[in-house]
Structure 1
Amino acid sequence: MDLEKRSPAGDPQEPPPRTEAEGCLVVAIRIPVRIVVLVLVVPVRMVWDALVVAGRVLRDTVLRPFGRALAWLGWAVFVWPLVGVWRYVLVPLAKGVGWLGNVLLVVPAVWVYRWLLTPVGHGLAWFFAGVGAVFAAVGRGLYAGLAWLARYLVVVPAAWLYAWVLTPVGHALAWCGRGLAWCGRGLVWCGGGLVWCLGMVVTGVGMALYWTVRVLLVLPALALWRWVLTPVGRVLAVIGREVWDALGHAWRIAGYVSRAVGRFLGALFRWTVAEPARWAYRSVLTPVGHAVRDGVLRPLAEGARGVGRAVRQALDSARLSVRQARADVRRMLFGEPAKARPVARREPSAAEARTLGSSTTALTKD
C-alpha cells in the first residue's frame, strides 16, 4: 500500500527512486507518518490556496490600480515639476552663467596668459638658465676640490689603518674565537647526555598518561559513539527523511484536493450566482432597459434637445436685439460713422499703360 501518486515519466516533481534496499523499520514508519502528515497538511494547503487567490484578486483589483494612481501622482507632483524647472529654469540659467563666465573670466584669463604671462615666463626662463649655467660651473669646481681633499684626508688614511692595524687585530681575535669554540663543543656533549636522560623520563611519563587517558576516556567515548549514538542517529535520520518525503507527497496531494474543492466552489458559484445573474441580465434587465430607453429616455432626450434649440434661438434673438439697441444708442450719441471712400484697384488701361514704342508713361502723362 502506497499513498504516493504516480506521475508520468520525466515529471520534475517525482522524487528520485531509491536504489538501496529498505528495511521493515522504514516501511513501518512510512505509512503512519504519511497518513498523519496528509491529515495535517490538507487544511493548511487549502488555506494557502485561498490566500493566494485572495491575494491575486486584491493585487489585480486594488493594489495595481492604486499603484498606478500613486505613480501618476508622483509623476505629476514631483517628476514633471522637476523636469519643467530643469528644462525651463536651470538649463537657461546655467547657459547664461556659462556665457557670462566665459566672457568675464575665460576670455580675459586667456588674453593675460597669452600676451602677458607667456612673454614674462620666457624671459624668466632665459635668465634662470644663464644663472644656472654659472652656478653649475662653480659647483663642478667645488666638487673636484672637495673630492681631492676627501681622497687624501679620509680614504688614504682609512685604507692604511685597515691594512696595518685592524687586520692583525682581527686575526688575533679569530684565533681566540676558535679556541673558545672547541671548549663549547665539549660542554655541548655533556649537555646532550643530560638531555637524553630527561627525554627518557618524559617519554615514560607521557606513555603512562596516554594509556590512562585512552583507557578512561577515549575507549568509553568510542564505544558510546559506535554502539549508541550511531544507531540512534540512523533511526532519527530515517524518521526525518520519511517525514520530509511525507510532507512533499502530502503537499502535492493537498494541492490536488484544494484544486478540486476550488473547482467545485467555482462551479457552485457559477450555477447559483453567475448564471442566474447573467440570465436575469440578458432576459429581464436588457429588454426592460431597451423599453425604458425607447419609451422614456429617447422622448425625454428629444424634448430636452427641442427645449435647448428654443432657448438658443431666444438667446440669439435677445443678443441681436441688444446689439441693434447698442448701435442705435451709439448713432444717437456720436452720429453716423464716416464712410470709407472706395479706392480704385483696377489696372491701367492699354492706352494709359507704358508702351515700348513711346517714352510717355502713365505717371508722366498730362
Structure 2
Amino acid sequence: MPPGEPPVRREPEVPEGCLAVAIRVPVRIVVLVLVVPVRMVWDALVVAGRCLNDVLVRPLGRALLWLGRAVFVWPFVGLWRYVVVPVGQVLGWLGNVLVVVPLVWLYRYVLTPVGHAIAWVGRGVGAALGRVYAHVLTPAGHAVMWVLRGLGAVLAALGIGVYTAVAWLARYLVVVPALWLYTWVLTPVGRALVWCGKGLVWLVGMVVTGIGTALYWIARVLFVLPALALWRWVLTPVGRVLAVVGREILDALGHAWRIAGHISLAVGRFLGTLFRWIFVEPVRWVYRSVLTPVGHVVRDTVLRPAAEAARTVGRATRPALAAARETVRQARADVRRMLFGGPGHPRPLDRREPSGREARTLGSSTTALTKD
C-alpha cells in the first residue's frame, strides 16, 4: 500500500457453497464464448465510430457551423450594424427634434404658465369655499346634529322599553316552559334511548366479532398457511438458487467482458501490425527509396532547367513585347493623325493693343494728338 493512503476496509468474505463452485466454471466458459464476438464487434464499431467522427462528422459539423454563421448570423449582424443602428440613430434624432424638443417647449412655455394660473384660481376658489364651510355649513351642521341627537335619545328610550317588555314575555312564555320540558321529559327519554343503543351496538359488535374471528381462521387455514409453506419450503430455496445462478452469470459476464477486451485489444494490435507491415511499410519504403530519389532527379534534370529556360525566354521576350507595344502605339497614332489630322496650333488673337514696348501705360501718351 502506498504511504499516505488510508487503509481500505474489506468486507469479510462470505463462505461459498458447493453449488456456486459447481456453477461458476461452466457458466464462465459459456459466457466467455458468447461474449468474445460481441466485444470484438463492439470494439470494431467504436473504432469505426471514432474514425467516422474524425473524418466526416467533425468536419461536416464545422462546415455546417460556418454555413449557419454565414447564412444566419453574419447577415443579421451586418443588418443590425449597418442598417438598424444607423436608422435607429436617425429616428432617435428625428424623435428628439420633432417630438421631445416641441413637447419640452410646450411644457415650459405653455403648460407651466397655464398650470400656475389654474393653481392660483384654485387657491382662490378654495379659500372662498373654506370661508363658506367655516361660516355657513359648520353652524348649520351643528344645528342638524343637535336635532338628530334629541330624536335619537327619544327613540332609544322607546326601544329600551319595548325590548324590556318583549324580553319579559319571551322569558315566561317560551324559555321557562322549554327548560321544564327539557329537564323532565326529553332528558329521561334520551337517556333511555342511549342505553338501548349501547345494548344494540354491543350485541352487533359481538356478532361481528364472532363472524370476523371465524373468517380469520378460515382464511388463515385455507390461504395463509399454504402460502407461507409455499414461500418457506419452495420459493425461498428456488430464489436462493436463482440468485446464486444470476450472481454467477453477472460475475461471469464481467470477467468475460474484461477478458474479451484484452483479446480484442490483442487482435486489434495484431491486425494493426499486419496492416503496417503489409501496406504502410512498403508504401513508406517505396516513397523513401524510389519516389524521393526519382523526384529529386526529375527536379534537378528536368524542372529546374525548364524553369531556368522559361525565365530566360521571359527575360528575352520582355523587351520584344515592349518594342511591339511601342510599335503598335505609334501605328495607332499615325492612323489617328491620317484620319483626323494632327493637333492644331493656337492662333494669336488680335486684341488691337500695342505689343512689346509700345504697350499703353498711364505715364505716357499713345494718341496721335499728344504724341511727341
Fold agreement, TM-score > 0.5? yes
- Three-state SS of the structure 2 residue aligned to 1:19 is coil
Instruction: Give 1:93-104 correspondences, 5 Å limit.
Output: 93-104=87-98
Partner of 1:302: 308
> Which deviates more, 275-284 or 198-207?
198-207
Deviation at 1:201, TM superposition (A): 1.7
Kindly tell me the number of residue pairs found equivalent between the two proteins. Answer: 324
Task: Flag structure 2 segments of 5+ consecutive residues without an equivalent.
Answer: 3-9, 348-372
Q: Check 1:89–1:193 CA distance in 2 against 1; reply closer, same or farther (3 A cut).
A: same
Deviation at 1:319, TM superposition (A): 2.8
Looking at structure 2, the residues matched to 38 and 147 of structure 1 have their Cα atoms a distance apart, in angstroms, of: 110
Instruction: Give 1:157-172 correspondences, 5 Å limit.
Output: 157-166=158-167, 169=170, 172=174
Q: Check 1:293–1:170 CA distance in 2 against 1; reply closer, same or farther (3 A cut).
A: farther
- Three-state SS of the structure 2 residue aligned to 1:334 is coil
> Which deviates more, 32-41 or 236-245?
236-245
> Is 1:43 aligned with 2:32?
no
Q: Check 1:188–1:291 CA distance in 2 against 1; reply closer, same or farther (3 A cut).
A: same
Of 18, 25, 39, the match for 2:19: 25
Instruction: Give 1:1-366 correspondences, 5 Å limit.
Output: 19-118=13-112, 123=118, 126=123, 141=141, 144=145, 148=149, 151-152=152-153, 157-166=158-167, 169=170, 172-173=174-175, 176-177=178-179, 178-179=182-183, 181-183=186-188, 184-324=190-330, 333-335=342-344
Task: Flag structure 1 segments of 5+ consecutive residues without an equivalent.
Answer: 1-7, 9-15, 339-366
Deviation at 1:38, TM superposition (A): 0.7
Deviations 1:314-355 (A, max 9, x none): 3322333344556665796214799xxxxxxxxxxxxxxxxx
Partner of 1:351: none
Query: What RMSD in Å do the two structures reach over aligned CA positions?
Result: 3.5
Aligned amino acid, residue 210 of structure 2 = G
Partner of 2:369: none
Q: Check 1:163–1:190 CA distance in 2 against 1; reply closer, same or farther (3 A cut).
A: farther
Looking at structure 1, the residues matched to 145 and 232 of structure 2 have their Cα atoms a distance apart, in angstroms, of: 90
Aligned amino acid, residue 213 of structure 2 = M
> Which deviates more, 187-196 or 22-31?
187-196
Partner of 2:364: none
**Relative contact order, higher structure (CA 8 A, sep 6+):** 2
Q: TM-score, normalised by structure 1?
A: 0.75
Deviation at 1:276, TM superposition (A): 1.5
Q: Check 1:332–1:269 CA distance in 2 against 1; reply closer, same or farther (3 A cut).
A: same
Looking at structure 1, the residues matched to 309 and 267 of structure 2 have their Cα atoms a distance apart, in angstroms, of: 56
Q: TM-score, normalised by structure 2?
A: 0.74
Looking at structure 1, the residues matched to 276 and 230 of structure 2 have their Cα atoms a distance apart, in angstroms, of: 66
Looking at structure 1, the residues matched to 150 and 54 of structure 2 have their Cα atoms a distance apart, in angstroms, of: 99
Deviations 1:257-293 (A, max 9, x none): 1111111111111112111111111111100010011
Aligned amino acid, residue 313 of structure 2 = V
Q: Check 1:182–1:249 CA distance in 2 against 1; reply closer, same or farther (3 A cut).
A: same
Aligned amino acid, residue 58 of structure 2 = R
Looking at structure 1, the residues matched to 64 and 125 of structure 2 have their Cα atoms a distance apart, in angstroms, of: 72
Deviations 1:176-219 (A, max 9, x none): 24425513233222222222222222222222222222222222
> Which deviates more, 123-132 or 59-68?
123-132
Q: Check 1:189–1:158 CA distance in 2 against 1; reply closer, same or farther (3 A cut).
A: farther
Deviation at 1:66, TM superposition (A): 2.1
Q: Check 1:252–1:327 CA distance in 2 against 1; reply closer, same or farther (3 A cut).
A: same
Deviations 1:108-148 (A, max 9, x none): 33344444445555636658866986789969939947974
Q: Check 1:144–1:202 CA distance in 2 against 1; reply closer, same or farther (3 A cut).
A: farther
Question: Higher Cα Rg: structure 1 or 2?
Answer: 2
Aligned amino acid, residue 222 of structure 2 = L
- Three-state SS of the structure 2 residue aligned to 1:21 is coil
